[in-house]
Amino acid sequence: MQKRCARLILDAKFSDNFVKLFTKLGWLPIDDIIRSRKLDLLHKISFGHCPDYFIPYIHYLKDTHSYNTKATTKYNLVIPKCKRVSGCRTFHTSATRLWNNVDVSIRDTTLHKQFTAKVRQKLLKQNATLEHFVISSTF
């Protein structure tokens, strides 16, 4: 559906590369939109911009042990253990993995609008170098 809209808006041919069309329009594919929304919610939770019942939802790795490791200094989250593959597909697990893979400089942004803009810019930059979009898992 997004491809058709991009072709309609830019009056492009069917044979035109839709990755380049998306780049011209500044659009993200659906997979990247889902990833950015997951990161947005975790950012709100970690900086206290969500209701109180979300607070026990995240656990920092530095709270699980007293060793000073690289992961604890970066404020990584503890990835929940899964017994089944379906458990690894849950929001909690997939969003935590995404959060741990984001650059620390982006994660430390306290203002939510700046965080969202930085994540979007990073995803747009990644997609601009592609010849075609790659569908990958979100966890």
**Per-10-residue mean pLDDT for the chain, 139 residues long?**
78 81 85 92 88 82 71 75 84 89 88 93 84 62
Q: Is the pTM of this model over 0.85?
A: no
Domain count, the chain: 1
**Does residue 14 form part of some domain?**
no
**Does residue 8 form part of some domain?**
no
Residue-range definition of the domain harbouring residue 75: 29-128
pLDDT for 121 equals: 92
**Does residue 106 form part of some domain?**
yes
Q: Which tokens go with 1?
A: 């559906």
Entry field: residues in the chain: 139
pLDDT for 34 equals: 93
**Does residue 135 form part of some domain?**
no
Give the CA radius of gyration of the chain. Answer: 18
| Residue 120, burial from CB neighbour count under 10 angstroms (0-12, 13-18, 19+) | middle
pLDDT for 72 equals: 59
| Residue 43, burial from CB neighbour count under 10 angstroms (0-12, 13-18, 19+) | buried
**Does residue 59 form part of some domain?**
yes
Going by C-alpha positions, the residue among 59, 58, 41 that lies closest to residue 50 is: 41
pLDDT for 118 equals: 94
**Does residue 91 form part of some domain?**
yes
